Amino acid sequence: MIKPHGSDELNPLFVYNAEQRHALLAEAETLPSMMLSSAAAANAVMLGGGYFNPLTGYMNLADALSVAEKMHTVDGLFFPVPVVNMTSETSIEAGSRIALRDPNVEGNPVLAIMDVAAVESVTDEQITFMCEKIFRTLDENHPGVATFSDQGRTLVSGSIQVLNFSYFQADFPDTFRTAVEIRNEIKEHGWEKVVAFQTRNPMHRAHEELCRMAMEQLNADGILIHMLLGKLKPGDIPADVRDASIRKMVEVYFPPNTVMVTGYGFDMLYAGPREAVLHAVFRQNCGCTHLIVGRDHAGVGDYYGGFDAQTIFDEEVPEGALELEVFKADHTAYSKKLDKVVMMRDVPDHSMDDFVLLSGTAVREMLGKGIAPPPEFSRPEVARILSDYYQALDA
């Protein structure tokens, strides 16, 4: 099986020993507390699940700036985005041991215990520098820029021990999986070549066929459909609706035991190319050998070029930094001429009129009125689930 990123074995920061975990929870009640931002809480969940391997906790300012600028830490570890804990709290001291509390669960339970290595002030100029490098924009209308800029100007770094997985395990018991669990399941299947498909949306026909194309062209053993379960921007479809629609598609249209439907507990960054590379790190840590990167992967609005998330792997990711390979996909749509879904680059004789193309707005309006999009665009079983959601929203 493919090695995790940066180490021979996966090193999740969740405390799996129950006795030790209970002792740490008891200790946490005696420690000073810090309320995490949602972004920092998501980072803790990802550290706990092994997705951020080989990190042992939150980065310090020097590493955060180095990663933002060059995609590697001061010591040379390749990493595409800073993994930080920023706050407005000013009473935390270096050398202390603190309880990190979850902002996303009622009662704010302890999510992790942290040994604070450093507490550093971050200047507005440094925030601007990091935003420009990570998001390629300083526009505060960009949801990632807004979130990153609003977390505070104190950076608290150090190693952590993760004690639970926030709301993800309770709210998505059938879907939330750690990188550890996914690697184990891949081993159980006996899969060697595994293609990952990242999604924050329901999957239409084009997405479904893209998974099938990648699997066939790579002669893969299986597909990991891996959906983001954390916070999104307003207007995005909630995780439970996405989950139901994706599961229905897999159940009806894929052969048994060829697809794993799973999710991970992270808030979307909308960082385009940098987030595509982060997605590659996640999937290598899960045990996948390939990641599908399509048009406008992890993008939002028109902040990124259509294929910037592919070219970053060629132009900025050092050779050998990742073992996982990228399957580069073009825009995919149903061809009326060929009566099947194709990648547009593969059919140069087609005009735009030869494809079934619908805007997101048009699809939402149709679903809200109970009108199913054409079957060439969306499977009827999937359209039904989405239509029920939109009609309830508009009621």
CA 137 to chain centroid: 20
pLDDT tens per residue, range 304-325: 999 999 999 999 999 999 999 9
Mean pLDDT of the 194-220 span: 94
Token pair for 332: 């995919």
Give the model's confidence band at 89: pLDDT under 50 very low, under 70 low, under 90 confident, else very high: confident
Q: Could you tell me whether strands 194-199 and 290-293 are parallel, antiparallel, or unpaired per DSSP bridges?
A: parallel
Q: Is the pLDDT of residue 162 over 80?
A: yes
Q: Name the one residue in this structure whose structure tokens are 């999740």.
A: 12
Strand, coil or helix: 7 = coil
pLDDT tens per residue, range 107-122: 999 999 999 999 999 9
Query: For all residues of the chain together, what is the average pLDDT?
Result: 95
pLDDT value of position 299: 92
Token pair for 258: 């060829």
Select which of 21, 200, 212, 384 is catalytic.
200
Percent of the chain with pLDDT over 90: 89
- Identify the CA nearest to 249 among candidates 123, 344, 382: 382
pLDDT value of position 156: 98
pLDDT tens per residue, range 134-152: 999 999 999 999 999 999 9
Mean pLDDT of the 218-230 span: 96
Instruction: Yes or no: say if 243 and 279 are a contact pair by the CB < 8 Å rule.
Output: no
Mean pLDDT of the 188-197 span: 97
Mean pLDDT of the 164-168 span: 96
Q: Is the pLDDT of residue 358 over 90?
A: no
Widest CA span in the chain: 69
Who's near 64: CB < 8 A, 6+ residues apart? Answer: 82, 84, 130, 155
Give the model's confidence band at 90: pLDDT under 50 very low, under 70 low, under 90 confident, else very high: confident
In the residue annotation, 184 being an active-site residue is answered as no
pLDDT value of position 165: 98
Mean pLDDT of the 89-99 span: 94
Q: Phi and psi for 243 in degrees, rounded to 5?
A: -60, -50
Select which of 11, 201, 212, 247 is catalytic.
201
Q: Is the pLDDT of residue 163 over 70?
A: yes
Q: Is the pLDDT of residue 16 over 80?
A: yes
Mean pLDDT of the 143-165 span: 97
pLDDT value of position 232: 79
Rounded to a whole number, what is the distance in angstroms from the first to the last CA of the chain?
49
Instruction: Yes or no: say if 82 and 60 are a contact pair by the CB < 8 Å rule.
Output: no
pLDDT value of position 394: 74
Q: Which helix (H) or strand (E) holds 186?
A: helix 179-189
Task: Give ranges for CATH 3.10.400.10 in the chain.
Answer: 18-169
Name residue 113's beta-bridge partners. 99, 161
Q: How many residues appear in the chain?
A: 395
- The span from the CA of 199 to the CA of 370, in Å, is 24
pLDDT value of position 300: 92
Strand, coil or helix: 226 = strand
In the residue annotation, 200 being an active-site residue is answered as yes
Q: Flag the least confident range among 35-49, 72-86, 219-233.
A: 219-233
- The span from the CA of 261 to the CA of 125, in Å, is 41
Cβ neighbour number for residue 220 with a 10 Å cutoff: 21
Mean pLDDT of the 14-32 span: 98
- The span from the CA of 170 to the CA of 38, in Å, is 17
CA 308, 311, 317, 321 dihedral sign is positive
pLDDT value of position 158: 98
Instruction: Yes or no: say if 113 and 97 are a contact pair by the CB < 8 Å rule.
Output: yes
Q: Is the pLDDT of residue 361 over 80?
A: no
Task: Give ranges for CATH 3.40.50.620 in the chain.
Answer: 174-394
pLDDT value of position 138: 97
Q: Is the pLDDT of residue 155 over 80?
A: yes
| Architecture per CATH, 18-169 | Roll (3.10)
Give the model's confidence band at 395: pLDDT under 50 very low, under 70 low, under 90 confident, else very high: low
- The span from the CA of 59 to the CA of 53, in Å, is 13
Q: Flag the least confident range among 48-52, 284-288, 358-362, 388-392.
A: 358-362
| Architecture per CATH, 174-394 | 3-Layer(aba) Sandwich (3.40)
